[in-house]
Structure 1
């Protein structure tokens, strides 16, 4: 292997795969049923039952590099473990490794005060509460984050927060206690990237209305508890400002890099599982006198799927290695490349699997529609394909600026 796993990671992966076989896969049907029946405003009992079991087996907070609070793994070491978790929608939260909590915990670890860490990071790491991240807005093209219109205005010892956000993941979860909110503190600053700030907003503060859950391809709560939230004259102490006014983009880049690569790691696991389902399905079905697995078009798609997964994995491991060795800022080209390549790969493989399953593939019985909703969402979340492609092109063209 180009990136061999350390003995520690090999052992964690073995334990993780065993847990998945024993407790995650057998409970997937129950998880989807609870999500559908209880809806996005409730806690799903199956998740809460499995969390203490995962923690007892040492499979807890495996993310969070460069911190003594996590498992002490680098991004490269975490990658194969995150991939295993990505094979099932149920899994990441069970191991306390789900978005947006992982990204928010990294923000608190890097930029929060000791008071913030005690009040918010500690219970998040314990899985006692959940969090949300309010950045995207319905009234503007949020692919350009400088368009953000929400305001954060200083008023004595407080800031007053106003704005309408959506795709604020987790806000409908009754355990969601803290929000990281991005808005403008200096809208007239000539540098558009210094107009924004991030501030901690407790979700029980007066003036917050979680207006509605947002479905992702008709799914509420799976794969995402996307929500619309309105903030009206929400007053929070000035100490809740993260890092300082005008540093919202700096924090965003520190947060979104790990978030993007975690999404890609999980998607590779989801693509692997989807290919397995496809192979099992086509071997068990007969059409026009021979197994579907012997149809040339099927074999071509299986071969292409394997190639695409291996390419995506190597690209993702390369990005993880770059993040570990030269830092997130220097590795932004590698992160941008996987953010385009991996969701597109997953969308294509899931589409082929749906086709291979016939009409049943469009139902919820095989987990393919849920998988497609996740993969397609991630061509937009944390920046759309177009933005990342433009960024990659600029990096490439810059090499020839003196030519």
Structure 2
């Protein structure tokens, strides 16, 4: 029997790393503990030497897809401890630097859950997430990455969410933003002066307003976006006049990949980026002129993004497949992310607001990517802490 102390540095918080460590420790019959610190993920493992060797190999070769390991520091410990099992223990605050994962687009499992009418807790719930997806960087207040240091601090998990959170076999095992309709954030519909609007279904109201040619200020994961019907030339012109943006191309959010292929040419590399777990705005070559010309005028490309949060999915229906999706800001200013600031600055642009009561601590605008020569090139990266996207999209996509 031997005991080792291990520190893993890199993008290892907010990516399901501790649950991963827990599972491979059990596989290799090890005892000890793992936690988050400001230096990275720290652990002690104790057991047979072959088990620890296998554990260290697994640590590097089977790390979660969303993680990026920069360094693994291993220290031999002189004596054994009376460890009975392997535990995820309370995080500790230490001086140091660690990287937090960027926000991750809704995974396939959560997307399926969103539309499952048999799941009463999460059916059509706009804040579904799990270990594999959801807000990360935008909700962080401090490190280490634990719920108490995020915008989810004030949302106390219900018994069912807590049970999932504590179950090693559940995909929400130690998913810090996890929640459901019983215990999580809520959406709120406002007029453009900030007055609440009573509605039985806020998303149905938003869809109705969009069909009527209204402009909506939508609070998403990283900030506010200005949204209107992408097939309505008159409302697009109204948005341009109100935002003082006479000719610059406007980004679009489209319902799904089939809608994108109706309007744009999409090769395999572009499709992989569009449907991946980061979902930036991707510049695509126009296939036809079926959309209003005042979206991009004579530009041969459209900036397109697919829904990347449950909230976005719920805005679309069979009559709304394309939305203008531009940053909620004033000219040359950063994206707005606070409710009061949005009401103060965007009330002359929008007709209504769709907001929620989960705070955005780190505003994050959408990155813009173009595939050039088989490579995804970042055209705009507005948040320095999301530099991990460069590492992902600057590699040739095979």
For this structure pair, what is the TM-score category when the shorter chain's length is used for normalisation?
under 0.3
More helix by proportion, 1 or 2? 1
**What is the TM-score with the length of structure 2 in the denominator?**
0.27
**What is the TM-score with the length of structure 1 in the denominator?**
0.27
More strand by proportion, 1 or 2? 2
Larger Rg: 2
More relative contact order, 1 or 2 (CA 8 Å, 6+ apart):
2
